[in-house]
């Protein structure tokens, strides 16, 4: 996608909470030709006061970092979807996707508005994407998916996504957020570690070790610091030996 060009203006604050407006369009679309689907997404959303520019740019960077996996996938499940931009944009930018399931406790009005703005040029956001409302702490299983995704997953939700993917031997990609030392409970048989400072490095190190013990290959990628201060992207794929010889764990009731 070449979206790193979005960072070329040193005076432009991509962390602004302002909505995507006309002036933003002049700044953002410069790197893209009108035939580029990214240009199309930005053009459809400009000036509508439905999405904030930080979230739009961050979503584009997440999808760019996950492009190799999304290009191979046919079905995706997004857990903790929120406004749903990751799944909706993915349906536009990766037309080989046949189904995108989005799960969260409540479907916000903004999801419907974003979908309606994109649909005239990209009908697939209505035919391929579905949003299910449910409590994520009560999800026992998901429909089969090639890739399970979660972005800015608060606390233990990262572990929920990983476990849901593991039950069916699926690949998963997560951007963790809001870790606490309580998440270290039970690691190495010890109680949560006490101390000061950000627990994020220890929490995610323990996660990576656990995922590798499950038989996953784990790769870390990064989002630009100017886009988000929680930019660690973990991509976990079943190791080749497991994909070829080991059946996935029996899934529970699917959604």
| 107 domain-assigned | yes
Q: In what order do the strands lie in the sheet with 232-238?
A: 129-133, 99-104, 75-79, 147-154, 171-177, 232-238, 216-222
| 27 domain-assigned | no
d(C-alpha 210, C-alpha 95), whole Å: 33
pLDDT, greater one: 11 or 68: 68
| 40 domain-assigned | no
Domain count across the chain: 1
| 17 domain-assigned | no
The CATH number assigned to the domain holding 187 equals 3.40.50.150
Instruction: Look at residue 116 in the predicted model and tell me its pLDDT.
Output: 96
Instruction: Look at residue 128 in the predicted model and tell me its pLDDT.
Output: 96
Average pLDDT of the residues in 97-119: 96
Instruction: Look at residue 254 in the predicted model and tell me its pLDDT.
Output: 43
| 64 domain-assigned | yes
| 32 domain-assigned | no
Token pair of 248 as six digits = 């996935």
Q: Which domain holds residue 126?
A: 54-245
Cβ pair 3, 58 in contact under 8 A: no
Cβ pair 112, 183 in contact under 8 A: no
pLDDT 10s digits, 208-251: 999 999 999 999 999 998 888 889 999 999 987 554 444 444 44
Query: Helices 37-45 and 85-93, interaxial angle, to 10°?
Result: 140
Cβ pair 3, 31 in contact under 8 A: yes
| 19 domain-assigned | no
Q: 210 to each of 157, 172, 214, how far by Cα in Å?
A: 15, 14, 6
| 18 domain-assigned | no
pLDDT at 135 over 50: yes
Token pair of 30 as six digits = 């410069």
- Residues in contact with 18: Cβ distance below 8 Å, sequence separation at least 6, in sequence order: 24, 52, 53
pLDDT 10s digits, 35-71: 888 888 988 998 888 988 889 889 999 999 999 999 9
pTM of the model: 0.86
d(C-alpha 191, C-alpha 200), whole Å: 17
């Amino acid at each position: 996608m070449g979206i790193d060009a979005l960072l070329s203006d040193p005076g432009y604050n991509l962390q602004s909470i302002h909505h995507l407006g006309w002036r933003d369009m002049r700044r953002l679309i410069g790197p893209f030709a009108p035939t580029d689907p990214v240009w199309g997404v930005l053009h459809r959303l400009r000036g509508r006061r439905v999405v904030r520019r930080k979230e739009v740019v961050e979503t584009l960077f997440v999808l760019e970092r996950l492009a190799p996996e999304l290009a191979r996938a046919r079905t995706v499940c997004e857990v903790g979807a929120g406004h749903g931009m990751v799944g909706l944009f993915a349906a536009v930018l990766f037309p080989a996707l046949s189904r995108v399931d989005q799960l969260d406790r409540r479907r916000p009005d903004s999801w419907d508005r974003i979908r309606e703005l994109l649909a005239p040029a990209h009908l697939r956001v209505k035919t391929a994407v579905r949003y299910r409302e449910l409590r994520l702490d009560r999800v026992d299983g998901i429909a089969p998916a090639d890739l399970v995704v979660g972005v800015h997953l608060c606390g233990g939700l990262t572990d929920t996504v990983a476990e849901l993917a593991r039950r069916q031997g699926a690949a998963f990609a997560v951007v963790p957020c809001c870790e606490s030392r309580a998440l270290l409970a039970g690691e190495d048989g010890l109680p949560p570690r006490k101390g000061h400072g950000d627990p994020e490095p220890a929490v995610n190190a323990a996660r990576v070790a656990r995922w590798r013990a499950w038989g996953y290959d784990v790769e870390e990628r990064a989002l630009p610091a100017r886009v988000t201060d929680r930019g660690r992207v973990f991509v976990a794929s079943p190791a080749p030996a497991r994909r070829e010889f080991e059946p996935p764990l029996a899934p529970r009731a699917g959604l």
